[in-house]
Amino acid sequence: MKRIILLIVILFCSAASYSQDVLEVIGKETCSCLEAKKAKNPNLSAADFKSELGVCMLKSYSDHLSEFKDSEKADFSNEEDMGKLGENVALKMLRFCPDLIIQLGRDATKDEGQEVKKEDPSLSGEVVDIKWEQFVTLQLKDQTGRNYNFVLLDSFDTASLLTNNEIKKKDKLKVSYTEVELFDAKAKEFRYYKILTKIEKQ
């Protein structure tokens, strides 16, 4: 009886670790594939290196797809599934090519550090009018004579120039803004409004 129980335990453990064994094979093959691509093109950019990793991993995974249980197969259209697969394979790769995984981590950190905050668009012009209604609207005329309306909707560092009446008609300003789609109750339709994010006197 003890032998039968032991056999069942061994079989269960083997079944449980089956996918792990397949993942190890995929991890090893992905490392070999990536090392070959790295040797062929040592100057791969961080983005290309990451892309090649994905190609190598998916190639190996596809080759061994039949070795996974149906319940363990990743859905290629499911971002969460693919993320988990990538994490599992990366853990196995640490055993075979830790230097490549470390490089990927460094590249990712470098990319985050190099991310530059996108600046809001800006426009310079002369103050034509300031309307104090439900929302304050600043009207500017640019060098070509075209008029633009900017709405004060949010608080920001230089908003006090407007709220404290420090801006007058004919003043020269440079404003930054974002465009937001809001519902126009009078026109009964959604329209894009330029929302002020910064005001500079010139």
Q: In this structure, is residue 65 part of a structural domain?
A: yes
d(CA 127, CA 173): 7
Residue 4 lies in a domain: no
pLDDT value, residue 111 = 55
21 and 107 part of one domain: yes
Q: Average of pLDDT values for 21-25? A: 89
Q: Which residues span the domain enclosing 155?
A: 122-201
Looking at 67, 89, 114, which one is the last position of a domain?
114
Both 85 and 53 in one domain: the answer is yes
Domain end call among 114, 142, 176: 114
Type of residue at 177: Y
- Convert the pLDDT of each residue in 37-66 to its tens digit: 888 888 878 788 888 888 898 899 889 888
Which residue, among 121, 117, 139, has the nearest Cα to 176 in the 3D structure? 121
**How far apart are the C-alpha atoms of 130 and 137, rounded to whole Å?**
6
pLDDT band at 117 (very low <50, low <70, confident <90, very high): low
Residue pair 74/62 in contact by the 8 Å Cβ criterion: no
With a cut of 80, say whether residue 5 has pLDDT above it: no
pLDDT given at position 3: 43
The residue among 57 and 185 whose pLDDT is bigger is 57
Supply the pLDDT for residue 19.
Answer: 58
User: What is the 8-class DSSP label of residue 155?
Assistant: -
Kindly report, residue by residue over 63-104, the tens digit of the pLDDT: 988 888 888 888 777 778 788 888 888 888 888 888 887 777
What percentage of the chain has pLDDT greater than the value 90?
31
Here the tokens at position 142 are 């640019």
pLDDT at site 25: 92
